[in-house]
Amino acid sequence: MPVLLAFRRRNVTKINCRLVHYRHTSICPGDRFSRLRRRSVFVRAAIPITLALLGLALFASGPVGRLLVAAGIVLFGPGYIVWSLVDVELRLPRLAAPALWLSLSLCIVPLLFLWSSTLGLHLTPAVLRGQALGVVLLAGWCWQRSGSRRVPLWLLGSWLGLLLLVAFTRAVEIRGVVLPLWVDSLHHTLLARIVAETGRIPTSLEPYMPVDPLVYHWGYHTVIATLKVVAALPIALAVLWGGQALNALMAVTMYGVASFLLRSPRAGLIAGGVVGLLSLFPAYYVTWGRYTQLTGLLVLPSLMIVLVALLERPTFDWRLCGLNALLLSGLMLIHYQVLTFYVVFAVVYAGVAIVQRPQQAGQVVARVAVMGTLAALLASPWVMTMVRKVLVPVAVQPQKLAGPADYNSVDWGLLLVGNNWLLFSLAGIGAIWAMLMARWRIVAVAAWVAALGVLANPTILGLPPSWFVTNQTVIIALFLPVGILAAFCIDQALIWLRPLLARSVHPAAKLVGGAAAAAIALFGTWQLSGIPLPPAWNLNRFQIPVVNARTVLATPADMPALEWAATHTAPDARFLVNSADWLNGSPRGTDAGWWLLPLAQRWVTTPPAMYIYGGPAYKQAVEALNQRIRALRPTDQAALEQLVREQQITHVFLGKQGGPIKPELLFGNPLFIPVYDADGVTIFAVRPNP
pLDDT at 39 over 80: no
* pLDDT for residue 413: 86
- Give 338: exposed, middle or buried? Use CB within 10 Å, 0-12, 13-18, 19+: buried
User: pLDDT tens, 340-397?
Assistant: 999 999 999 999 999 999 999 999 999 999 999 999 999 999 999 999 998 898 888 8
Rounded average pLDDT over 264-282: 97
Alpha helices in 24-118 (DSSP H): 29-61, 63-86, 97-118
What confidence score (pLDDT) does residue 394 get? Answer: 86
Report whether pLDDT(2) > 70: no
Region of residue 151 (phi > 0: left; psi between -120 and 50: alpha; otherwise: beta): beta
> Residue 557 contacts by C-beta under 8 Å, 6 or more apart in sequence?
656, 678, 679, 680, 681
Spatial strand order in the sheet of 681-686: 603-604, 574-577, 651-654, 681-686, 672-678
Are 187 and 610 spatial neighbours (Cβ–Cβ below 8 Å)?
A: yes
Residue 119's Cβ-side half-sphere holds a number of Cα atoms within 13 Å equal to: 9
Helix, strand or coil for residue 579? strand
Inform me whether the pLDDT recorded for 11 exceeds 50.
Answer: no
Strands 681-686 and 672-678 come out as antiparallel
pLDDT at 447 over 90: yes
Please classify residue 404 by burial: count the beta carbons closer than 10 Å to its beta carbon, then call 0-12 exposed, 13-18 middle and 19+ buried: exposed
Whether 25 shows a pLDDT value over 70: the answer reads: no
The overall longest dimension of the chain from CA atoms, in Å, is: 125
Q: What is the pLDDT of residue 3?
A: 38
Amino acid at 124: T
Please give the helix or strand (H or E) that residue 378 lies within, else none. helix 361-378
Q: By CB neighbour count within 10 A (0-12 exposed, 13-18 middle, 19+ buried), where does 33 fall?
A: exposed
* pLDDT at residue 15 greater than cutoff 70: no
- What phi and psi values does residue 580 have, to the nearest 5 degrees? -145, 165
| Average pLDDT for the chain | 90
Give the distance from CA 57 to its chain's centroid. Answer: 26
What value does the CA radius of gyration of the chain take, rounded to a whole number of Å? Answer: 29
State the pLDDT at residue 42.
Answer: 57
Q: Alpha carbon of 138 to those of 77, 97, 416: distances in Å?
A: 9, 18, 47
Taking the C-alpha atoms of residue 131 and residue 144, their distance in angstroms, rounded to an integer, is 20
pTM of the prediction? 0.92
User: In the chain, what are the domain boundaries?
Assistant: 1-61, 62-490, 554-686
* Nearest Cα to Cα of residue 242 among 63, 81, 111, 112: 63
Q: What is the pLDDT of residues 123-154, one digit of tens each?
A: 999 999 999 999 999 999 998 887 777 899 99
Q: What is the pLDDT of residue 690?
A: 62
For residue 651, what are the β-bridge partners? 575, 685
654 strand-pairing partners: 682
Q: What is the pLDDT of residue 59?
A: 85
Cβ neighbors of 127 (< 8 A, separation 6 or more) are: 199
CA–CA distances in Å: residue 202 to residues 113, 189, 198, 261, 328: 10, 12, 8, 37, 21
**Which residues are CB-neighbours of 416 under 8 A, at least 6 positions away?**
424
Q: What is the pLDDT of residue 344?
A: 97
Binned at pLDDT 50, 70 and 90, residue 41 comes out as low
pLDDT digits (tens, 9 = 90+) for 277-331: 999 999 999 999 999 999 999 999 999 999 999 999 999 999 999 999 999 999 9
If pLDDT is split at 50, 70 and 90, which confidence band does 466 have? confident
Least confident of 183-197, 217-231, 544-558, 624-638: 624-638
Confidence of residue 22 (pLDDT cuts 50, 70, 90): very low
Residue 61 · residue 68 · CB < 8 Å: no
Instruction: Compute the average pLDDT of residues 45-61.
Output: 80
Going from the C-alpha of 210 to that of each of 114, 195, 612, 617, the distances in angstroms are 23, 17, 11, 11
Instruction: Give the count of beta carbons closer than 10 Å to the beta carbon of residue 322.
Output: 18
Percent of the chain's residues with pLDDT above 90: 74
pLDDT in tens, 492-537: 999 999 888 888 888 898 999 999 999 999 999 999 998 888 887 7
Residue 644 reports pLDDT greater than 60: yes
